[in-house]
Amino acid sequence: MSLQNSLSEYRVTQSSFPTFDNKQRPISFESKNRQRNTHPLFRASDNDSSLRLQVRRFTQDNTTLYASRTTSFTRIEPSSLIQNRLAANVQTSDINFIYVGKVPQLVRAAFQYAANIWQTLIYSSIPIQIRVTWKKDNPSTLGSSGITYGVRNFPSFRRNTWYGPALANAISGRDLAPKLPDALINLNSRQRWYLGTDGRVPQGQYDMATVAMHEIYHALASPRLLKYNPTTGQGSGGVGGYPGLYDRFVVNGSGQSLLNTRRFPNPSKALGRQLTGNNLFFNGTHAIKANAGQPPKLFAPRRWEPGSSYAHLDEKTYPAGSPNSLNTPYFGASEAIHDPGLIVLGILQDMGWVTMPD
């Protein structure tokens, strides 16, 4: 779509944005899974003065996306819903990239292609800003990404829980940190990239448009603050004593929250075993609905993979060619997926994003 068309469409659709105040917040905040109070050993009771709005810079481990050596020859095109919305120039958010280094023009074109898809699926009146860096990295990586800050205790948020920048801005209707981008993406300039956007990826090449789709998802995500220490075998987490929004949805196969510090003290080996037990799931109502009534399985292998474990859907459950494989930690050569899939959209909805389909 031309810039002019997309901007005028943007103005038209903006008037129909949901309003994000206390009374009309996205319905997913009212899900049954909502925990009414913060967990005992996560600091602060509900009448604590620390319930004030806080915007805080912090880093979590970057999520890393790995190049698997397998060759897939799978291709998943954008759904007809996406194609129809793009054809009608329906744009409900605005994703902007700030490029650092000599990012080739075709890389930028692949990112714009992916942004156009996301911009027709998520709703925000605040432009989403992502810094994209092009630099040499290990041959096994495709890219990595991270958010730049967290926000807690905006009035309609779940209390004492860190929200990611793009979501916090979308809900609050303002840029809560005007001088900071929402997220950073690093691309491995040494990888054997395919830079077309048709998903027809030649043998031995990795699809940039797919990686752009994947990394933009991480830029929209909220903090996951639990992690594993291989030296001590302990799991631990939180920033300033508070979990990330993502952490609130993770349960084990028995439906137990990892934030239940009576079962899994913070820090503890008990929590460490959960994080490396290959038995974690995302317990949100929309994600469950998108996964045939079951909580989608998360990637939690016995050997902790920093930046990869816990942050993604399970590689084996959602293999190359699965419509829900966009948020898995590995991509093969000649693998293309240009649609987030209903589970990823469900996860975003559970977090509080307004998305299509709703």
Q: Which is nearer to Ca ion, 313 or 354 (CB)?
A: 313
Asked if 55 is part of the footprint of Ca ion (rule: CB under 5 A), the reply reads no
Q: How far is the CB of 154 from Zn ion (least distance, A)?
A: 26
Q: Of 25, 28, 65, 117, which one interacts with Zn ion (CB under 5 A)?
A: 65
Q: How far is the CB of 174 from Ca ion (least distance, A)?
A: 10
Site string for Ca ion, 146-175 (x = CB under 5 A): -----------------------------x
Q: How far is the CB of 11 from Zn ion (least distance, A)?
A: 33
Nearest 5°: the CA angle 116, 31, 39 is 110
322 class by beta-carbon count within 10 Å (0-12 exposed, 13-18 middle, 19+ buried): middle
Asked if 114 is part of the footprint of Zn ion (rule: CB under 5 A), the reply reads no
| Stretch binding Ca ion (CB under 5 A), from 19-27, 269-277, 321-329, 338-346 | 321-329
Asked if 147 is part of the footprint of Zn ion (rule: CB under 5 A), the reply reads no
Q: Of 62, 63, 129, 234, which one interacts with Zn ion (CB under 5 A)?
A: 63
CA distance linking residue 210 with residue 216, whole number of Å: 10
Residue type, 309: S
Q: Which is nearer to Zn ion, 115 or 176 (CB)?
A: 115
Residue 222 near residue 216, CB atoms below 8 Å: no
- Which of Ca ion, Zn ion, none does 351 bind, CB closer than 5 to 8 A by kind? none
Residue 211 near residue 134, CB atoms below 8 Å: no
Q: Of 42, 111, 162, 330, which one interacts with Ca ion (CB under 5 A)?
A: 330
Asked if 62 is part of the footprint of Zn ion (rule: CB under 5 A), the reply reads no
Q: How far is the CB of 356 from Zn ion (least distance, A)?
A: 22
- Would you report the helix, strand and coil content of the chain in percent, each value rounded to 5? 25, 25, 50
Q: Which is nearer to Zn ion, 65 or 287 (CB)?
A: 65
Q: Which is nearer to Ca ion, 180 or 270 (CB)?
A: 180
Residue type, 66: Y
Q: How far is the CB of 320 from Ca ion (least distance, A)?
A: 6
Asked if 320 is part of the footprint of Zn ion (rule: CB under 5 A), the reply reads no
Q: How far is the CB of 326 from Ca ion (least distance, A)?
A: 9
- Which of Ca ion, Zn ion, none does 330 bind, CB closer than 5 to 8 A by kind? Ca ion
Residues 6+ positions from 179 with CB-CB distance below 8 Å: none
Q: How far is the CB of 18 from Zn ion (least distance, A)?
A: 28
Q: How far is the CB of 332 from Ca ion (least distance, A)?
A: 7
Residue 334 near residue 201, CB atoms below 8 Å: yes
CA distance linking residue 292 with residue 76, whole number of Å: 20
Q: What does the block give as tokens for 3?
A: 């810039």
The residues with which 151 forms a beta bridge, in sequence order, are: 55, 163
The three-state secondary structure class of 254 is coil
- Using CB under 5 A, which residues numbered 174 to 213 contact Ca ion? 175, 177, 180
Q: How far is the CB of 329 from Zn ion (least distance, A)?
A: 6
CA distance linking residue 180 with residue 165, whole number of Å: 9
Asked if 324 is part of the footprint of Zn ion (rule: CB under 5 A), the reply reads no
Neighbour tally for 314: CB within 10 Å: 21
Asked if 328 is part of the footprint of Ca ion (rule: CB under 5 A), the reply reads yes
**What is the chain's Cα-based Rg?**
19
Q: Which is nearer to Zn ion, 218 or 248 (CB)?
A: 218
Residue 338 near residue 110, CB atoms below 8 Å: no
Asked if 97 is part of the footprint of Ca ion (rule: CB under 5 A), the reply reads no
Residues 6+ positions from 65 with CB-CB distance below 8 Å: 141, 142, 143, 144, 145, 211, 214, 215, 308, 329, 330, 331
Residues engaged in binding Zn ion (CB under 5 A): 63, 65
Residues engaged in binding Ca ion (CB under 5 A): 175, 177, 180, 328, 330
